[in-house]
Structures are given as structure tokens and as C-alpha cells.
Copies of this chain bind each other. A is one copy, B any other.
């Protein structure tokens, strides 16, 4: 917790949004001695039961954990975690099989409650007297030339302006600062929002009457159906949060035409009969819970001079299919902290360095997350993908320090950036799929031979792309 930064003393930092990223950032900047004020539009979630339309549980893995280590919360967070060792695939007949996330036993992801984790971070942040958090204050716009933000109090409706030395917006995919950048037209602001044709709806599998899990606890359950899918993640109370990913308008059943209880039950009976059997509350959940969109947001620049900075989902909202949304936002704070350690002499230099280091990686995880949507939906469809998975698990198990699949590079290798993981992982996938197709390798071969061939072919693919100027 050394405090070396030239800018530290007397600097007032205003953080917009006390979600997962904002509360972690407040905690870390508090630890570094900054004067931090946080404004959050929602009520204090430690005092009110709110889900606010956002997912109830999340996948927590190594990159997120690296951030928890940084702020000294690794042990406390571990208590909130339910390990998920792999995907449990459910077919239409209700048969299941387990597909581990890694060939190494110590590599797994965790289901964690958004609310519990956010509460912990808020409480830890508030332990620092130089950190103050205000709730029920919604940011309406940011004057990024003058480093001020306009807020409205939820209860009184009064509006007020807050001033700071710099403003960091961790206010999520609908960021007020990003909107001010876009509408301000004061500089060239590259921006994209891309929606999938699919939306999602949260459902639930409640605990048994004795509070136990109705299906296997330590897995991420998937019912892949090629053009849509259902997933379920365990909660500490014995329930599972279930999410249906389905097209709005395409296919025989879709969100637009599932308009009656009969149709919903018919759909689940046909596609997910084993899930339906443990979801007596399906119809109520389906019609009470909103259908939400799946969007990716990218933009640049993230900062305006040394005045304002976007961080977390406000800078890079991604779809949930790699389980990396929260992990990426937590990693933002780790990367920002690294830049603070460089002792640069202005916020502008800090923000610029941070974006330069970081954006390539958040762009990569956005693209990987969309890829994984297609992979997850079609998980059982392609036998050659299955054989690839089998080989990679064997390689990971046999060569503990020499091979990691794309999934492992992204999820369990927190010291490799997302972009590097993407390039290496995609080249490996391409190498294995092509060598399987061309019968250069087979899952029956000697593992050391397979490893050598995969490594050589992966390097050849990367080299060919480099020569063609593709990176």
C-alpha cells in the first residue's frame, strides 16, 4: 500500500457509480490515500433488496481474483464463491455429461452473488475515512471541459453540480459520461453499440424444501440447442439462477411469440424437459421478469484530457458468454493501479497510458465473448469440436505448465492479456481443428507427439498471419 504518486495528496476524485467496478476503484484509490467521493444512482444495496434488472450471480475467476488480492480481500471473497468445475451439458432427453473447464483440477470458475460481492466492496471502501459514498444520486451529464458532473437526488429531485480534480465514470453500459462525450461533439469520439439478435431472461430453480440443490451444485449447467440455450449457475442458498438466451424474432419459438403460459411450457417441455421438471415456478418467472438485450459497447478515447475517464462497462460493455464481464472490470482497476505506480506527473498522462495499455485487451474480450456465444449454443453439434476439447483436456492434464487451451488462457492465465490470449488461443483452435480434419493428429495419438505438432502448427499460423500483415 505504498503511496508514491505525485498526484496523491490534495487530489479529489469523483467516481460515478458504486457498482462492482466503482466500489472496487473507490476502495483501491482510498487505500492509496486519494480523497474519493462516489455517487451512486441506486439506493444502498446493503439496506434494500434490489436486483435492478441485472444478473443475480456472476462467474468469478482468476483475473477478478487478482484484483481481490490487490485490495486484500481474497479470503473474504472466497467465502462467497461456489466452485464450478465445468459445464454440465444437458441434452433433450435429460442425459447429462460433465465437460471440465480445464485438464487441471485447480483451474475452475466460481459462481458468486453480485449483491454480496458489491456489499463487501462498499463496506471495505467505507472503512477508509477518505472515501465517501452517496446513494440515490443519479448522474445526468458530465461537463468534461470543466470537470464537473450534474446529479439529481432520487428523493428530492433536486439537481446539483459536483466539482473534482478528476472524474472517473464507472456507471455501466448506459454511462452518462459516455453519453456526454458522444453528444458533446467536442472531439472525434469513436463509438459502437452492437446488439445480438438474441435477448435473455432470468428464471430460477428454487432449493428443495430442505434447502438443498435440485441438480448438481458444482457446475455451470448448459442446455445447448444450437440456435438458443438455457444455462444455470448455483447460489449459496441452494437455488440456481437460470438464464434463457433466445432470439427475439427468429426460429419456431422466440421471445416475440412466447406470449402465453401454454406456449412457454410447450417450449420447455420440448427443449428442456429435465429443467422444466424442477422449475414449477417457470411461468411466473417468465412473465414477471424482463427480457433484456445483449449488447457490446466499445469506444475511444476513454478519457478527455486529464479531466474524465471511462472505466469498466462504461468503456467496454460485453456480452456474458465468456463469464468475463466482472473480471474484465476488476482487471481494469488492477491495470489502472499499475499505471499509478509509474508516478506519472499528470492525470492526462495516467489516463492516456492506461487506455493505451488496456484497450487492446478489452476489445479482445468483447470479441471473444461473442465467439463463445456461438460456441456454447452449438456445443454438442460438432464432433470435431468435441474431439478438440478432449485432446486439449488431455494436454492440459499431462503438460501442466506447457499447454493451455484458449478458454484456459482467457480464464485462468491472469498474467497474459486478453489480446495475447485471443491470438494464441485462436491459432491453437485453428491448428487443432485443421489437423484433426486432415487426420494429421487424432485423439488416439501419443500426447507428446500431439503437443509438438500443435505447437509447431500454431506457431506457423501466427507467423503466416504476421507476414500477411494481419496484426
**Residues in A lying within 8 Å of B, measured CB to CB:** 188-195, 248, 293, 295, 298, 374, 426, 429-430, 433-434, 437, 464-465, 467-470
Partner of A188, one of B188, B293, B464: B293
How would you classify the secondary structure of chain A's contact residues: helix, strand, loop or mixed?
mixed
B434 touches A468 (CB 8 A): yes
Please tell me how many copies of the chain the complex holds: 2
- Starting from the known contacts A188-B293, A192-B194, 13 additional A-B residue pairs (CB-CB under 8 Å) come to A188-B295, A190-B192, A190-B193, A190-B194, A191-B192, A191-B193, A426-B468, A430-B464, A430-B465, A433-B469, A434-B464, A434-B467, A437-B467
Residues in B whose Cβ lies below 8 Å from that of A437? 467
Residues in B whose Cβ lies below 8 Å from that of A429? 468
Tell me the bound Cα distance from A298 to B189 in angstroms.
Answer: 15
14 pairs, CB–CB < 8 Å, chain A vs chain B: A188-B195, A188-B248, A188-B295, A190-B192, A190-B193, A190-B195, A191-B193, A192-B194, A429-B468, A430-B465, A430-B468, A430-B470, A433-B468, A434-B467
Q: Nearest-CB distance from A181 to chain B (Å)?
A: 12
Q: Nearest-CB distance from A270 to chain B (Å)?
A: 27
Tell me the bound Cα distance from A189 to B191 in angstroms.
Answer: 13
Q: Nearest-CB distance from A422 to chain B (Å)?
A: 13
> Most B CB atoms within 10 A — which of A189, A194, A426, A429?
A194
Tell me the bound Cα distance from A464 to B426 in angstroms.
Answer: 12
Partner of A192, one of B188, B193, B464, B470: B193
Residues in B whose Cβ lies below 8 Å from that of A191? 191-193
A467 touches B433 (CB 8 A): yes
Q: Nearest-CB distance from A120 to chain B (Å)?
A: 34
Tell me the bound Cα distance from A295 to B190 in angstroms.
Answer: 9
Residues in B whose Cβ lies below 8 Å from that of A426? 468
User: Which B-chain residue is minimally distant from A385 (CB atoms)?
Assistant: B469
Tell me the bound Cα distance from A237 to B190 in angstroms.
Answer: 38
> Most B CB atoms within 10 A — which of A190, A191, A437?
A190
Q: Nearest-CB distance from A249 to chain B (Å)?
A: 11
Residues in B whose Cβ lies below 8 Å from that of A190? 192-195
> Most B CB atoms within 10 A — which of A192, A293, A374?
A192
Tell me the bound Cα distance from A297 to B437 in angstroms.
Answer: 39
User: Which B-chain residue is minimally distant from A192 (CB atoms)?
Assistant: B192
User: Which B-chain residue is minimally distant from A197 (CB atoms)?
Assistant: B188
